[in-house]
Structure 1
Amino acid sequence: MKDYKKSPNIVEQLTPEQHYVTQQCGTEPPFDNAYWDNHEAGLYVDVVSGEPLFASVDKFDSGTGWPSFTRPVQSENVNENFDDSLGMRRVEVRSVHGDSHLGHVFPDGPEEAGGMRYCINSASLRFIPVEELEAEGYDEFKNLFSETLGETK
């Protein structure tokens, strides 16, 4: 298993927007970010630590302008904390190993998939296309995409 962690070198290499979102709990603009309309098969990992967070098979169009997922790919890589900022109670989503602010989770997702909507900032993610999973060291997740790869389960 990979060792996922946050390092000062990686944080220094973040773009200003990535730093604002992941380190200062910022929010990127809706409909003007890298992955809100990405329909490619693959894995979304933390831009800081590389820990696997979400898979395209759990992504859906929420109409909000941010990437939305029904669940994390590994729940042990995601922390949920109460966020009372902006005069409302929300549940913040953070990566465990990178301690990156990812976004928020809401109970208004597709009912048939559990009813949750993980509304995530693209700036907190790095996308790895399914064809590159093995080369990037994430081959253990290829089975999530067996239909995409033309394999039977």
Structure 2
Amino acid sequence: MSAANMHVPAPLDTALPSPVPGDEHEQCPVTDVLRRVGDKWTVLVVVLLGQRAHRFNELHRGIETISQRMLTRTLRGLEEDGLVHREVFATIPPSVEYSLTPLGKSLLEPLSGLAKWAIANQPAIAASRRVNNLPSRNT
């Protein structure tokens, strides 16, 4: 957002311009983070790494439907953002272990809050979808 909106302590504390300029929305740090955590696999990978460090194949086996390519892309993106640390061990063949950085660990609390909200409100969301004849996203 504009310079006035860059250090907003909470989304509702600052009035947004109307309409919100597209370039401001694209440059917003919140939009950037939501793009990262809003993809199909990132939250699951972060949660698994929040439990303990994993080797690549452990992660791949632990997420039933993710492809190797998509897991690689997800881990690379998280590493680029400073959320995941990749450590290569000089074994034959070389092995790689992934763990959360302190920044990545700091994401676990807000993700937990979002998860609690989603679980608590899922029945109301499903009921609203039924009333509005929309398909459930859980089936």
When normalised by structure 2's length, the TM-score is 0.30
Larger Rg: 2
Higher RCO structure, 1 or 2 (CA under 8 Å, sep 6+) = 1
- The structure whose residues are more often strand, as a share, is 1
**TM-score where L is the length of structure 1:** 0.29
| Higher percent of residues as helix | 2
